[in-house]
C-alpha cells in the first residue's frame, strides 16, 4: 500500500488507483501529460557540472541512459547541450518497451566494453543502480534528487556520493576504473 503523499513518481499510478478507486483512463492520461509537458527551456546545466562532464569525457567514454518520454528526453538533451559529452545516448521509454538493464547490456555489446571496465552512476537505486548490479558493473549512487531518500534495501551500491561533483576524486582514487 502506498501512503498518500509519500509516493515516488513511478508509484503515482498505484496511488491514484487507491485514492480514486478505479479511476478512468483520462486520469492516467492527464498524469502522463504533466510528465511530458515540463518545458525543457526551464532546465539549465550548472557550470560546475558542465566542466565535470567535459573533464570526464576527456578521460573516459561516457554513455547516457535516460528514462522518459522520448520526444521530451531528446528535447532536454538538445537544450542542455549534452550530446558532445557522451559517446552514445540511449533513451528508455516510460512505457518500458526496453528497461535500463537491457539497454546497458546493449551498450556494452555494441561498444564491446567488458563489464569490469564500466561503471554505472545514477541517483535511483531501483533503476540504474539495480540494473548496473544485475549486469555485473561497479555502481556509484549519487544520493541526490528523487532517489535520495531510498534506503539501500533495494540494492547496495559499490560507492555512494552526495554530489556528482565528487566523482573525480572517487574515480581517481582507483588505479583502474572503479
CATH of 46-172, one of 3.40.50.1000, 3.30.479.10, 3.40.50.300, 3.20.20.220: 3.40.50.1000
73's enclosing H/E stretch is: helix 70-80
Residue 112 has pLDDT above 80, yes or no: yes
Q: Tell me the sheet residues that pair with 121.
A: 140
What's the grid cell of residue 171?
574515480
Q: What is the pLDDT of residue 125?
A: 87
* Residues 142, 161 contacting (CB under 8 angstroms): yes
3-state percent helix, strand, coil for the chain, nearest multiple of 5: 50, 10, 35
The rounded distance, in Å, linking the Cα atoms of 167 and 51 is 12
Share of the chain above pLDDT 70, in %: 69
The residues near 154 (Cβ < 8 Å, ≥ 6 apart) are: 125, 126, 129, 130
Q: What is the pLDDT of residue 133?
A: 94
Report the predicted TM-score, pTM, of the whole model to 2 decimal places.
Answer: 0.74
What's the grid cell of residue 178?
572503479
Residue 164 has pLDDT above 50, yes or no: yes
Q: What is the pLDDT of residue 117?
A: 93
Q: How confident is the model at residue 113 (pLDDT cuts 50, 70, 90)?
A: very high
The residues near 118 (Cβ < 8 Å, ≥ 6 apart) are: 108, 137, 138, 177
Mean pLDDT in residue range 134-151: 83
DSSP 111-150: TT--GGG-EEEES-IIIIIHHHHHHT-EEEEE--GGGTT-
pLDDT in tens, 28-71: 666 566 555 557 777 888 899 999 999 999 999 999 999 888 88
Q: What is the pLDDT of residue 120?
A: 95
* Placement of cell 478512468 in the chain: 24
Q: Which of 1-10, 70-79, 134-143 has the lowest mean pLDDT?
A: 1-10
Mean pLDDT in residue range 65-94: 92
Q: Which of 2-16, 21-35, 93-107, 152-166 has the lowest mean pLDDT?
A: 2-16
Helices 25-36 and 70-80, axial angle in degrees (round to 10): 10
Q: What is the pLDDT of residue 8?
A: 42
Q: For the chain, what are the domain ranges?
A: 10-41, 46-172
Amino acid at each position: 500500500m502506498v501512503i498518500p503523499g509519500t509516493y515516488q513518481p513511478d508509484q503515482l499510478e498505484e496511488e491514484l488507483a487507491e485514492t480514486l478507486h478505479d479511476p478512468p483512463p483520462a486520469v492516467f492520461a492527464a498524469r502522463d501529460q504533466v510528465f511530458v509537458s515540463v518545458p525543457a527551456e526551464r532546465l539549465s546545466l550548472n557550470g560546475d557540472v558542465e566542466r565535470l562532464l567535459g573533464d570526464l569525457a576527456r578521460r573516459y567514454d561516457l554513455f547516457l541512459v535516460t528514462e522518459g518520454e522520448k520526444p521530451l528526453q531528446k528535447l532536454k538533451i538538445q537544450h542542455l547541450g549534452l550530446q558532445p559529452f557522451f559517446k552514445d545516448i540511449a533513451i528508455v521509454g516510460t512505457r518500458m518497451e526496453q528497461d535500463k538493464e537491457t539497454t546497458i547490456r546493449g551498450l556494452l555489446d555494441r561498444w564491446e566494453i567488458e563489464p569490469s571496465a564500466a561503471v554505472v552512476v545514477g541517483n535511483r537505486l531501483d533503476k540504474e543502480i539495480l540494473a548496473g548490479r544485475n549486469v555485473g558493473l561497479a555502481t556509484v549512487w549519487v544520493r541526490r534528487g528523487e532517489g535520495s531518500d531510498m534506503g539501500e534495501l533495494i540494492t547496495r551500491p559499490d560507492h555512494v556520493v552526495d554530489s556528482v561533483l565528487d566523482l573525480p576524486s572517487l574515480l581517481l582514487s582507483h588505479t583502474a576504473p572503479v
